[in-house]
Amino acid sequence: MVNTTQFYKTKVALAVVLSLGLAACGDSEGDAGSTATTTSSTDATQNTTGNQNELSMTVQGVVVDTNGNPLAGVAVYLGSLETVTNAGGQYTFSGVGATNVNGVNNEGDESDDDVTQSLVVTIAGTAEHLGALVTVTPQAQVNNTGGQGDASGGNSNTTIQTFVSGLTAQAGTAVLPMLNAGAYGYIRDCVTGAALVDTADLLSLDFVTVTADADAVDPILPADVFNGVQLTNSEDNHTISADANGMFSLTGLAANSTYKVTAKQGWAIKSVAPELIEGATFTTDSEGSSTFLNTVEVCPVDFTPVDKTTDPIIKSIDGQIGTTTVLDGGIDYAALTQNVVNDFVIRFNEEMAATFDLSEARVKVDGDTIADATVTLSADGTFATVSFVEDLDEGSKVDVWFPHWLAVDADEGVFLIDNADIDWDDIAVVTSTKAVYSHAYFCTFNKPSGDGDIVLGPQVIDADASEDAGDTELAAYSSAFADNLVGATEATATPISAVLSQLNGDANTAARLEALGDEIIGTPTLGGLFDYNYAVVTVDAEDSPGGIVWGGTANASQVSAPTAGNKGVATYDGTAHGKTVTLTPQNGFGDTLTAKTQSVTLVDAIAPTTVLQESYAITSAGAPQDGGSLTITSSTFNARFGNGGEISSPDVGAQATVGNPVIYVQPRHLAGQDERNEEFDTLTADMGGRLSAADLTAGATAADVRVVTINNGANTADYPLYDETAFAAWAAIPAEIGVAFSENLVVGAGSPTFTGTAGLASNFVINNDVKHTIDDDPSGAGSVDVDLVDFDTTDVVALANTEAGAMLGFATAYADAVGNEITTESNANVMIQDAMPPMVTAARWTGPELEITFNEVVDIDATTTIQLWDPTNPTVGAGNTLAVTLDPDAIAGSATAFTQNGNVITITLSGTDSTAITALFENGTNGEFLYEEDGEASQEEQHLILSWDNINDATGNKWADFTPAVTGTTGGIEDTAALIPNRWEVVAPRFLAYNDVGPYTVTTSFSNLETAPAADNDGFTAVITFSHRISVGGALGSADDGTQDIEVADIDNDGVFFEDVADVNAYFFLDLDGNGTDAGAGEDFPAGTSAALIHTATNSRIELVIPAVAATSGTTRIVADATVDVNGDLINTVNSSITGQKRVVDVVVTN
């Protein structure tokens, strides 16, 4: 064992050093403690090490004065242990860990067998005696006994280790000198020999060491090596001042000790008094003595020019024993010795200018400004003194702000520069107010603590409720964006200020929330910045002075953490739910306090939410909702408003939130995922019962999909074909639609909700980690995992048209795999959006009007057109097609008059359009387009093909956006998959409209008709009724102003009378002789005959009022003039001649 005694003056701090560094500022740091046992293993070639408890020893020592008298009641410290000496000056510490191993391991080289680590016993000084430091090394003996030896006679590789515990380490005898010696003498000017009177600052007296005393036992001298340890001593400085006689006197010096006399700046010692040995040192005598130093001659030193290349620096601070780094800001502090608690002296390397006004200085202690602290510059400008009203506490951190704009030296006005030899200064720091300060940092002594505590946790789930990823929108939208770091501490990403970090789900979760977040913010910013396996735990280690020890299954992923003596957060990247974090404090001596270990289990505490619904990429470039949002915006709530006194429904989607994902219900939902291009199979299958086999696709049967091949000039393609009867028979189309979520789900305590019609969303089923085949992945990009909740709808079309704005909500219905149940804060909702174009349910030609009925309200604008096709030859060309433009703002030119009543559009055709449409109605080659449809079994109706691709519904959906731009002739709708590359595309259907005009007929009726007399002397009335509205033109009114000319544009329901009998005779004659020919004037209507043409909504009639008529033999008839008929002056409004209907009235008169 080794023991060595060190002496130092009473006022110096008593430090216990355990190879831990300096203990100051409350931030001492030590090495992590090791466990008290070792683990052994044995094989044929390795040493055998037995498991041993920590080897403990006993440390004993004695404290005496320089006369060998024991000193009782002296405080003694060893690490965290403390005791006092007994009456015999003895002290004992038990259970001290062995820090030295001496032994032989028999490997042949024994030079490195000893392992030594010293402990320091601190013996506190008293008012009468100095203290001491004793270095002692408790040790255990280890003998590695070799085995049988090897073949060459050398030492065996296999040894047995023997540990010996319980030995006693002797700390020896510590001698404490008394502080009752003195010294005196005179100071004279070496030039004049005169006494230097009233001098206050010429000489200084510095303590060197304790020397031998005749009465002392085992004297210890500075140059001696006692058991291998070199002694050092602390300073004991005194200022020598002369009185009016030039005499100086010193008291309270350490007896039997060596001191050195030194001249201060500007003076030098010329001669040494007899009592002063070489180097101007002297030794005090025994206790109570006073040594006479005779006369000390000093001389003023001639002026020596200052080296102007040396710039001023902060040189030192009195009482410094080292430097410590405090990690609350990374500042280095000068660590001061014990009992230096006020009037701190900061020294400069040269004289500072008198203009260095330190009233401008500021002082902070532990971060707070101390208003009553003062900083003063010494008279000689070489040091500054920092004073406080009250002494500072242990561990106080002091920051002195020197006004740098005044900090210049006295001789050349050079500003302070950084001292490269110290770490606790900070020169020329620009503050936020643009003033420049230099700083000196120091801290008062703080004795290491034998205790320590930490607070670990809680885990941070949402660091700032008002912002996530630096964005307030995400924080307000959903708790799924909970960010466990505040934006300002994270990486910068424009326009938001931070990456989003959380412990939530998996990589798919991050990708889905990234996409949703970008859609909510409106600018793609989160991609690649979203971290899903990042955890944050709060840490308070301010009360752990010696260090902290991290552990747990998450420790390998730790990114950052506060150190001992500080608080903050520990961050983990790449961790997972269920991993643990442990933290153990260490005391000021580096002991690991295992009993105070704390642990936190990292958890995924973020509930799922609904994410973007792909909806067959309907919002992508070129898609029907191109530029639209996959989430609700302020314009997509689908609220509908009427005018004053009309129905409004602004509460549609009232439960929606801007940002909620949208499901676009669209034509693709009319068929299953594996039934591409079969969206209208069930609609057109009913056509097989009416169309002939001649129109079937090759190889198909009557029950198969009905299609028509149309050549629109740019391309030829097949289109589904249906009629009014087929739509009426079309059953509600059920579908199973998926709702995408951020992560895997389990069933929760509640149930999903639907604000729409019951039955249109039901039977919710979880499908986790299913493969999204992306329409059998035509791109070859591979499939991706999705987490879905599938629901059933009984009617896709109704879901789109009647439930737009309805919300699906999932609060409490589901939880994630670790049990986080969806709450209202999760905002796990989706909105149903209508993306289904309008369907024609009926279309018929009634004469002047084409009436089209849709399944929902449509929106007509200036670009709205419909296309009519000859079903037997649906090819663009003369006579095969008719395009009708409906412009509500310009009913002129090619635009056609129309009226709209909700979902019914009535188009009035005139001129060439009226003639052209009649020619498009066909029977078909085999009569396939001639069949009963108007409910009148007496006759069948002809049909034509109607397309309405650019007619929008109320929400802007039209078939033109969904129909692919196919080219070339295909073999049928089932074979066009390769020509339909986009996922949203569906071939638009075509409708068969029928001709509801019917055959042209004429009926007559009479009143006041007398058939028995030879003549009807009082006249009669004849009414000629036409089955359709008629147009009368040509000769009618040709001899007058034409006011009786009746054309399509001015037909109304009012009676328009023929102007005179000449007009009547122009269209009719009285066949008085019954031969069927007009005899000219003899068979004209008599004077006074009048006629009126009367129109109703559906037909026309002519009323003839005829005065007395004289008949000849036979039958008298009223006949339409054949000549007029041939000229087409009396026609119906479907341009069908009334040929064969000339004899419209037969009046039989008996002569």
Beta bridge partners of 122: 77, 133
What would the mean pLDDT of 417-423 be, rounded to a whole number?
A: 89
pLDDT digits (tens, 9 = 90+) for 384-400: 999 999 999 988 999 99
Same domain, 200 and 154: no
What share of the chain has pLDDT > 70, as a percent?
66
pLDDT digits (tens, 9 = 90+) for 370-388: 999 999 999 999 999 999 9
Tokens read off for 285: 């005598």
pLDDT digits (tens, 9 = 90+) for 261-280: 887 767 777 655 554 544 57
Separation of alpha carbons 134 and 120, rounded Å: 6
pLDDT digits (tens, 9 = 90+) for 764-815: 999 998 876 656 554 444 566 789 999 999 999 999 988 888 999 999 999 9
pLDDT of residue 839: 95
The number of folded domains in the chain is 7
Largest CA distance in the chain: 190
CATH number for position 146: 2.60.40.10
Is 854 part of any domain?
Answer: yes
Tokens read off for 569: 């957060």
pLDDT tier at 1017, thresholds 50, 70, 90: low
Of 144, 176, 208, which residue sits at a domain end?
Answer: 176
Is 715 part of any domain?
Answer: no
CATH number for position 250: 2.60.40
Q: Could you tell me where the beta strands, DSSP code E, fall in 521-579?
A: 530-531, 534-540, 547-551, 558-560, 567-573
Separation of alpha carbons 278 and 662, rounded Å: 97
pLDDT of residue 330: 74
Of 995, 1014, 1035, which residue sits at a domain end?
Answer: 995
pLDDT digits (tens, 9 = 90+) for 655-669: 556 678 889 999 988
The answer for residues whose C-beta is within 8 angstroms of residue 197's C-beta and 6 or more apart is 242, 243, 244, 245, 246
pLDDT tier at 97, thresholds 50, 70, 90: confident
- The answer on pLDDT for 508 being more than 50 is yes
Is 816 part of any domain?
Answer: yes
Is 722 part of any domain?
Answer: no
- The answer on pLDDT for 45 being more than 80 is no
Higher pLDDT, 520 or 635: 520
What would the mean pLDDT of 414-421 be, rounded to a whole number?
A: 88
What would the mean pLDDT of 167-195 be, rounded to a whole number?
A: 79
Separation of alpha carbons 279 and 272, rounded Å: 9
pLDDT of residue 42: 38
Is 695 part of any domain?
Answer: no
pLDDT digits (tens, 9 = 90+) for 1031-1069: 554 433 333 333 333 333 333 334 445 667 777 776 676
Is 607 part of any domain?
Answer: no
- How many other C-beta atoms are found inside a 10 Å radius of the C-beta of residue 38? 12
- The answer on pLDDT for 575 being more than 80 is yes
Same domain, 152 and 294: no
How far does Cα 1109 stand from its chain's mean position?
Answer: 100
pLDDT of residue 811: 95
- The answer on pLDDT for 139 being more than 80 is no
pLDDT of residue 1147: 36
Same domain, 1104 and 1138: yes
Residue 871, preceding peptide bond in cis (omega within 30° of 0): no
pLDDT of residue 714: 66
Separation of alpha carbons 520 and 660, rounded Å: 9
Same domain, 1034 and 962: no
Residue ranges making up the domain that contains 335? 314-443
pLDDT digits (tens, 9 = 90+) for 1088-1133: 787 777 777 667 777 878 777 655 444 455 654 433 332 233 433 3
Same domain, 323 and 366: yes
Separation of alpha carbons 756 and 799, rounded Å: 9
- How many other C-beta atoms are found inside a 10 Å radius of the C-beta of residue 531? 21
Separation of alpha carbons 413 and 408, rounded Å: 5
- How many other C-beta atoms are found inside a 10 Å radius of the C-beta of residue 1012? 8
Tokens read off for 392: 């500072």
- The answer on pLDDT for 114 being more than 70 is no
Beta bridge partners of 901: 904
pLDDT of residue 553: 95
Query: Within 13 A of 1124's CA, how many CA atoms are on the CB side?
Result: 23
CA neighbor of 329 nearest in space, from 394, 455, 426, 448: 426
Higher pLDDT, 145 or 468: 468
pLDDT of residue 719: 84
Average pLDDT, the chain: 74
Of 834, 857, 876, which residue sits at a domain end?
Answer: 834
Helix-, strand-, coil-residue percentages of the chain, each rounded to 5:
10, 35, 55
Same domain, 657 and 748: yes
Is 814 part of any domain?
Answer: yes
CA neighbor of 861 nearest in space, from 733, 946, 963, 950: 950
Same domain, 1018 and 1128: yes
Same domain, 629 and 765: yes
Higher pLDDT, 1032 or 994: 994
Same domain, 421 and 490: no
Same domain, 801 and 850: no
Same domain, 432 and 289: no
Task: Calculate the CA dihedral of residues 705, 710, 716, 718 and round it to 10 degrees.
Answer: -10
Same domain, 804 and 878: no
pLDDT digits (tens, 9 = 90+) for 293-330: 777 877 776 644 445 457 899 999 998 888 876 656 67
Predicted model pTM:
0.58
Separation of alpha carbons 811 and 821, rounded Å: 8
Is 352 part of any domain?
Answer: yes
